[in-house]
Chains A and B, each alone.
Chain A
Amino acid sequence: MRRRLVVIGNGMAGARTVEEILARGGGDQFTITMFGDEPYGNYNRIMLSNLLAGVEEESGIFLNDLAWYAANGITLHSGRRIARIDKYAKRVYADDGTVTPYDKLIIATGSRAHVPPIPGISRPGRGFHQGVFAFRTLDDTRAMMRYTREHERAVVIGGGLLGLEAARGLQNHVSHVTLVHAAGHLMNAQLDPQAGEILRRGVERLGIEVVTGARTTEILGKHTVTGIKLADGRHIPCDVVVVAAGIRANVEVAEASGLEVERGVVVDDQMRCLDEPDIYAVGECVQHRGQTYGLVAPLWDQARVLADHITGRNPQAAYHGSRVATKLKVAGVDVAAMGLKEPEREDDETLVFSERKKGVYKSVIIRDGRLVGATLIGDVRKVAFLMQAFDRGLPLPEERLELMFDLGAPPAEVSAAELADDAQVCNCNGVSKGMITACVADGVKTVTGVVDQTRAGKGCGTCKGLVAQIVEWAAGGAIEEDPAASWYVPGVPMPKPELMRVIRERGLKSVSAVFATLAPGGEEDARSKMGLASLLKMMWDDEYVDERDARFINDRVHANIQRDGTFSVVPQMKGGVTTPAQLRRIADVADKYGVPMVKLTGGQRIDLLGVPKEKLPEIWADLDMPSGYAYGKSFRTVKTCVGSEFCRFGVGDSTALGIAIEERYQGVEGPGKMKLAVTGCPRNCAEAYVKDLGVVAIDGGKWEIYVGGAAGAHVRKGDLLATVGSADEVITLTGRFLQYYRENANWLERTYAFVPRVGIERLRRIVVDDSDGIAADLDAAMARAVAAYRDPWRERAAPVTPGQFRPSLPLIEQPRVPVRESVPAGTPGPVVPTAGSPEWEA
């Protein structure tokens, strides 16, 4: 028999808890009845601010409509208040006299606006003075919006989060808004005075008048509100007053029914009321370990624990409290705060950055190497990162400044929890937050698992951090460590250094040999082939046993596959320097083959786009130029500027050096693309500061070498590796750095991630100062790679594999197999079609 579950309160916590219970199969265990004081289904209270501000429609804020309750077999009594619980008889009594029995009870009554007893604020027996409003419910908001249609000046009492959002929202309805705050600065619960001051300026810039240190002593006006009076005697005229002076937990029902109540209904770690095995409480009405909360994040945590416990899914589930961050939802003023607002102990480390004029303020407080507080105003890009560090006590970056600013690493701009479900997270593959959370809900609990299934993060990669955050958030901390995260490729369970050691020890020279020897069950893995092929080529050069099927299509046909299955052809044009003869040849080829588009690339060369696969060999033959490797995870281009040869500012021959570098390292494979540049002076016309390796000529015949720069999906200025006195040294250090990168970077890890991971100081010690004594080995390994270079376009003469250049789509040129020409199946021979499966095993 199903047990009777009764829920008092149909707000955010009550409804969420029921959702969590249903998700754990609770629908089969319980018949559920919910009581809600408000006359609606469940709506998103948070969005009332947006509703007031006019950026959200009323219809957009409902979370569960009545159909949802019906579909899940839930009896909803909306608009019915529970007055009392009889915990001995196990019944609840509603205001209208109805009695409902329960086996399990959940109290989720939330809280209400706290209205201080200011003279004139209400009329005996009649509630609020006309023109005075609280800001808690949909009805409050509707009433406010209706009333302000006819009125002009509003005063908001209370300069906390809610008051600020109310003030901003009211600007949408009245022409003048004054925010009156009793404390010395705005959001004093979350901010220190300096931050409060910067926030005040931001708020004033929006046109809201702010009065701090102002205690309201009276609401003026007999029939309608005419103004308020302050303790210092000042008088602020207005015709609307909104009170946002804090909240109080709705504990009356619990209290009247003999449950333990302090500031909230007291619960244990299972969200049970003290000494009441069958009564739980959740949400803002709760006091847990002495703490009450006024934000939604904690109640999501509570709801999960409660659901785990009540359904028996995990009787050990325990709530340990939440570390909360607040964010202000006021367009034009970004504020985020968490933990301490000021240092408390002498040895608390603090960092403060303040740029008053721009309205930017950032502070972080660190104790014993852990983040214990942070405030961001005006620029909240680091909030997701800080929140994670704060929440989990993660170790902090050595470079403390990275807590406040993005020093190159991919940014994570929004936090997972606050993204809307339909918000597109992966802009390359069109994956929304909802699709990711659904995948997690289906049981995939690792980041890589979710990435594989949804393709989120497999495009430009900028969203990877956010995807990981969403997975963690959706898994509610139940995220599983993905051992594969440290592996070089998913199919062979080893990190790169170990993998390289074993490959060398066992002399594994082909991808299939690696699978056979090192993969679990000797099982090959399609997604690992390309990475292994690249690694083996790097390790064995000429000795590498090249299996064509391990290559990605681009590397099988030496061109870049395009959306319609055709390819692009980019001939080498070293340093971006070409000749009239080359240009003529390219033009002739483009004409002869009707190339659909000829385009100058961002890499200073010419792209012939839309070439059918079968035409590639002929085009290469006619071009008779080497491949530019615009398709591979390999050394790509060296961009150059005109340099000292022609430019009046040039202090070094950047063109010659760029060509020399490209000539030497052309085509060398690596874990990721390697794009270089040489520029003739610090004006940097060749964009050398933002290249994997960029060389800048400086006065005095010297060259600066920068590494780890990027201006693609991520933008990062490279770190100065060395300043050297000759072009030869540049070439040597370039080779040595690239070789170190090739040997040590993870598959697809570009230098913009690799360099900060290793650290520029360490790289400099190894590559420049030879602290590890491996410089000679690196140079020798690179020399072998250079010697092993063959122009792949030479394969045009004789295809390496049958049908190497046969089209895969579209199949117009294809020799068609006439359907009529059929042979009988089962002709004698070793033919064993496996029953039920369309396969044939040799």
Chain B
Amino acid sequence: MAGMTTGHRLGPLDDIPVGEGRAYAVGDLMIAVFRLRGGGVRAVSAVCPHAGGPLADGLVDRRLVVCPLHQHTFDLSTGCSTTGQPPLTVYPVRVDADDQLVLEM
């Protein structure tokens, strides 16, 4: 193990319904966290680079989030847009032993 990284507790996993996203303000950052159906969480920057859409309101599947405003899509693991927009920032996120969401910084 390469020592300890630090993380920030965002709150209980159950704050996010399965298959949906919720937005968190972490310091000055705005982060959208998604709880995937079939397991797994993903965190990306919350503001759509296209025209500022709220990504946490988007539809997701295992791979993509679709922005609710103009339906641009982004890969949740890489942040890259599959529809030609600038990429999102991806944040490492996990669920700890107490079922808390932890954002690694």
Contact = CB atoms under 8 A, between A and B. Distances in A.
B66 A563 contact: no
Nearest to A524: B61
B95 A526 contact: no
Given A549-B59, A823-B96, A839-B42, A817 B19 contact: no
Contacts of A842: 39-40, 95
A839 B94 CA distance: 7
A453 B42 CA distance: 23
B27 A808 contact: no
Interface string B1-43: 1001111111100111111111111110010100001111111
21 contacts: A429-B70, A523-B61, A524-B61, A526-B64, A548-B19, A553-B58, A563-B69, A565-B57, A801-B17, A801-B20, A803-B17, A806-B22, A808-B21, A808-B56, A809-B46, A809-B54, A817-B27, A819-B26, A831-B95, A837-B77, A842-B40
Nearest to B27: A819
Contacts of B94: 825, 831, 833, 840
A526 B59 contact: yes
A429 B24 CA distance: 29
Contacts of A802: 14-17
Interface string A218-262: 000000000000000000000000000000000000000000000
B4 A512 contact: no
Contact of A838 (B4, B66, B84, B92): B92
Nearest to B41: A840
B54 A524 contact: no
A841 interface: yes
B90 interface: yes
B12 to A, nearest CB: 9
Given A819-B27, A825-B102, A553 B4 contact: no
A809 B71 contact: no
Contacts of A454: 83-84
Given A802-B15, A802-B16, A453 B91 contact: no
Contacts of A525: 61
Nearest to B56: A808
B25 A814 contact: yes
B53 interface: yes
B68 interface: yes
A552 B68 contact: yes
Given A550-B19, A823-B102, A841-B39, 6 more contacts: A527-B59, A549-B18, A808-B23, A809-B52, A821-B9, A823-B9
A449 to B, nearest CB: 11
A822 B46 contact: no
A840 B93 contact: yes
B16 A824 contact: no
Nearest to B94: A840
Interface in A381-432: 429
Contacts of B7: 822-825
A809 B30 contact: yes
A526 B9 CA distance: 28
A803 B22 contact: yes
Nearest to B64: A526
B52 A829 contact: no
Contact of A549 (B20, B23, B24): B20
